[in-house]
Amino acid sequence: MYTLIIFVDISLFIYYINGINDALYTPRMGVLMATIQAKVSRGHKYWYIVESRRVNGKPRPIVLAYLGKAEDLLRRLQGLTSGLRLKSYSHGAVAALLSVAQRLDIPAEINRHVHSPRAYMADKPTRNDLTVGMTLLLGAIGRVCMQTSKQGWWSWAKTTSCEYLLRSSLRRIDSQHFWDLMDALPVEAIPRIESVLLQRVLGQYNIQTDTLFFDTTNFFTYIATTNTRCTIAQRGKNKQHRYDLRQVGLALVVSREDFIPLFHLTYQGNFNDATVFKSVVDKIKTRMEELHLDLQRHCIVFDRGNNSNKNLALVKTAGLHYIGALSPSHHAVLVNDAMGHMNEHVEVTQREFFVFRDKRVIWDEERTVVVFVSDKLREGQIRGLLLELDKVEKNLKNLQESLKNPRAYHFKTVTEAQERVRTELHTVNAQQVFSFSVEQCPEGGWILTYARDADKVDELQEEMGLRIIMTDRHDWDSAAIIQAYHGQSFIEGAFRNLKNPYHLALRPQYHWTDQKIAVHFFICVLGYLLATLVWRETVKKTGFTGGMDALFDILNNIRLATMLEEATTPGPVKTTYKLELLDKQQQDLVQALGIQDFHEKRAILNGHSVYT
């Protein structure tokens, strides 16, 4: 127990009381007309600053401030702070992505296209007070920041400032939440949503779209072979060499600058590139028209896997200009004409090339062709060739020793022994480089003799690194054609991002119906769109030279500190939010992205809330 003894002038006493606002007392003629009084409530004594005022002509005590118990008052007089707890959350990436989503009004646009998949849902389906649009956006943001399943989404989200920024409880979001609301989005609505959002992107950001890049990739799944309800996941040539698993394909079109995804299509996993390209030519044209892109001023670049006579005819019919590649092995005459006649010198991005340029009729149409040697490609091909030949030679040497043993192989004829050797020469290059002979040894076994043709190796190396580019842009110079085709690496970078195990990962996905898989791919591409816009703003405004992965690592480490101060008076705990101390790079990023005070404004989507 404390005994409070008052022995100082009341005005001096109040001056020392920490946190009392000057407005709580009013000096009258230089004397403060207030006193300290105690009240007993439930056996405890509480102290107040009270001023006597006349109310309706009668004196009444007016409480100016509550001081608490004697021990609380003593603590304040001694300048002691109340109990303070700290907690911080990953903030930068979430704030940057929500800021872009707010500008594009993404949830509201998605919600315009949803329907109620179940009778118990309202006209605008919601779960845990969140709409379809907001749920899909949260899924996309989670994909960008950290790879996680939908079941583990809240485990990630609770470590971020997402819940505070959205002023919404998110702790009940689980896989069932996502599944229910994903059901409400028709697959046929995805292209319409994407088109509207991209129109807003082009209206708010100065995106260069003169050259577009098209390519495809695939993602393996763990969907069981016995699952007959899923048709989109099929076995095919998997680019991650998981031929034992069913896969889903993704076709993507990105802009030359900043890799902005302008079109995507989820397709059946057993379709080859040429088949997919045939099905999307008209869709790409429609998307370009929806985005008000002039077909005559734009050019689409694709790889040689999409080539066929019919596909190029479709491109021409659609009115699209194009740049594509040809396989040197399919155009031996052109390669022979080009070898030794690469006389035109061009410079592309500080690299020099000697090229052969001509017009040739290819697949019943005259096309401009540019043939040149890519040093980088040549180095890689030569390295691969030598590794391949060394491996074959090692296998031949081991086989040579094994054939000497009469008990190792029981071939009845020389032909059978020769067939065994040919299994080691299964590649085209090995068959051209190695010659061999097999004889039966009188003591039993077989004698293998082989030789490696060094002149043939040199000949193969001479033809390596060849690139053949074709186009209908006859008026473009060779440097512009080569530079445009080199941009194909941009879309390969986009696919690498979508396969990144830390950010933007499209996997893992645990959906096994066609509709859910298509919506899941849409969520991931939406996240990639947001990420590219954040990365673009960073590069433009700060000169950031790192990749998207490095950027989001930095943004994730920008943290929002929450300070919880225990109240000395009855009432809620005092909570203060503030960014943790930033280094110079982090300061530049938050300024460039306009999120330095985003935690104070907090996210307001669709004008007033996150629920619409």
Both 497 and 454 in one domain: the answer is no
CA 105 distance to own-chain centroid: 19
421 and 306 both lie in a single domain? no
**Residue 289 pLDDT class (50, 70, 90 cuts):** very high
Residue positions counted in the chain: 612
pLDDT of 393 higher than 80: yes
- DSSP 8-state secondary structure symbol assigned to residue 453: -
Give the whole-angstrom CA distance, residue 25 versus residue 34.
8
Other beta carbons within 10 Å of 116: 13
* Domain limits for position 394: 377-462
Cβ pair 356, 338 in contact under 8 A: yes
Same domain, 414 and 500: no
- Arithmetic mean of pLDDT, 503-508: 72
Give the pair of three-digit tokens for residue 405.
């043993």
Inter-residue contact 348 to 482 (CB < 8 Å): yes
**Could you tell me if 230 and 295 lie in one domain?**
yes
Least confident of 27-31, 352-356, 488-492, 582-586: 27-31
Residue 120 C-alpha from the chain's centroid: 35
Across 91-105, 391-405, 476-490, 503-517, least confident range: 503-517
Owner of token pair 């104070």: 600
Q: How confident is the model at residue 135 (pLDDT cuts 50, 70, 90)?
A: very high
Is residue 407 very low, low, confident or very high in pLDDT (cuts 50, 70, 90)? confident
pLDDT exceeds cutoff 80 at 132:
yes
Within a domain: 280: yes
User: 559-565 and 84-90: which strand pairing?
Assistant: antiparallel
Other beta carbons less than 10 A from residue 5's beta carbon: 6
* Confidence label for 238 from pLDDT (cuts 50, 70 and 90): confident
Q: What percent of the chain has pLDDT over 70?
A: 87
CB atoms within 10 A of CB 472: 19
Segment 82-89 shows an average pLDDT of: 75
pLDDT given at position 10:
45
Has residue 451 been placed in a domain? yes
Total count of domains within the chain: 3
Least confident of 10-14, 326-330, 560-564: 10-14
pLDDT at 603: 59
Weakest-pLDDT range from 79-83, 175-179, 300-304, 555-559: 79-83
Domain boundary among 527, 547, 562: 527
User: Residues 73-101: what's their mean pLDDT?
Assistant: 78
Query: Measuring CA to CA, how many Å separate 279 from each of 135, 266, 293?
Result: 31, 12, 21
Reported as a single tens digit per residue, the pLDDT across 546-574 is 888 899 999 999 999 988 766 555 556 67
What percentage of the chain reaches a pLDDT higher than 90?
40
pLDDT at residue 474 above 50? yes
Q: What is the pLDDT of residue 606?
A: 42
pLDDT at 121: 55
- Are 194 and 273 in a shared domain? yes
Within a domain: 133: no
| CA–CA dist 485, 349 (Å, integer) | 13
Which class for 136: exposed (0-12), middle (13-18), buried (19 or more C-beta within 10 A)? buried
Q: Please, which residues bridge with residue 326 across strands? A: 468
pLDDT of residue 25: 40
What is the arithmetic mean of pLDDT over 130-135?
92
- Alpha-carbon distance of 316 to 366, in angstroms, equals 12
Question: Do 438 and 401 lie in a common domain?
Answer: yes
Do 311 and 226 share a structural domain? yes
Return d(Cα 578, Cα 600) in angstroms, integer. Answer: 9
Q: Is 405 exposed, middle or buried (0-12, 13-18, 19+ CB in 10 A)?
A: exposed
> 433-464, pLDDT tens digit by residue?
999 999 988 878 889 999 999 989 988 888 78
Residue 487 vs residue 293, higher pLDDT: 293
Decide if 586 is inside a domain: no
Q: Measured between alpha carbons, how far is residue 54 from residues 23, 50, 60, 292 in Å?
A: 19, 13, 6, 74
Q: Is residue 610 part of a domain?
A: no
Residue 599 inside a domain? The answer is: no
Cβ burial of 148 (10 Å; 0-12, 13-18, 19+) is middle
Q: What is the DSSP string of 465-529?
A: TEEEEEES-TTS-HHHHHHHHHTHHHHHHHHHHHT-SSSS--------SHHHHHHHHHHHHHHHH
Alpha helices in 291-442 (DSSP H): 309-318, 332-338, 375-403, 414-422, 428-433
CB 129 within 8 A of CB 177: no
Contact assessment for residue 121 and residue 181, using Cβ atoms and an 8 Å cutoff: no
Given a cut of 80, whether residue 287 has pLDDT beyond it is yes
CATH code, domain with 220:
3.30.420.10
Q: Do 218 and 286 belong together in one domain?
A: yes
Radius of gyration of the chain (CA): 36
| Residue of 414, 422, 471, 464 whose CA lies nearest to 439 | 414
Q: What are phi and psi of 74, to 5 degrees?
A: -65, -40
Of 124-128, 259-263, 341-345, where does the model show the most confidence?
259-263
Q: Is residue 611 part of a domain?
A: no
- In 178-259, DSSP assigns E strands to 211-220, 247-255
pLDDT score at 160: 93
Pairing outcome for strands 130-131 and 126-127: antiparallel
Nearest CA-CA partner of 75 in 47, 51, 49, 36: 47
180's CB contacts (< 8 A; 6+ apart) are: 117, 118, 121, 125, 127
Please determine, for residue 78, whether its predicted confidence score (pLDDT) is greater than 70. no
pLDDT higher than threshold 80 for residue 417: yes
Q: From the CB of residue 367, how many other CB atoms can be counted at a distance below 10 Å?
A: 20
- Range from 452-466, 504-518, 579-593 carrying the lowest mean pLDDT: 504-518
Q: Residue 426: inside a domain, yes or no?
A: yes
Is there a cis peptide before residue 191, judged by omega within 30 degrees of 0?
A: no
Provide the token pair at 154.
């809240």
Strand-pairing partners, residue 216, are 251
Give yes or no: residues 300 and 387 share one domain: no
- In tens, the pLDDT along 16-75 reads 444 444 434 444 433 445 788 888 887 888 888 887 777 666 787 877 777 778 777 766
Q: Are 302 and 315 in contact (CB under 8 A)?
A: no
Looking at the fold, whether 316 and 201 belong to one and the same domain comes out as yes
Higher pLDDT, 311 or 607: 311
Residues 436 and 476 in one domain: no
Of the candidates 51, 50, 49, 52, the one whose C-alpha atom is nearest the C-alpha of residue 73 is 49
Mean model confidence pLDDT for the chain: 83
Region 355-373 average pLDDT: 91
* Long-range CB contacts (within 8 A, 24+) of 575-580: 577/164, 579/91, 580/88
Closest CA to 35 of 58, 19, 53: 53
C-alpha distances (whole Å) from 35 to each of 23, 40, 268 are 16, 17, 82
Residue 102, helix vs strand vs coil = helix
Show which of 414, 441, 462 is a domain's final residue.
462
d(CA 50, CA 429): 99
Instruction: Supply the pLDDT for residue 566.
Output: 63
Domain end residue (candidates: 20, 51, 80): 80
pLDDT of 41 reads: 82
- Same structural domain for residues 449 and 501? no
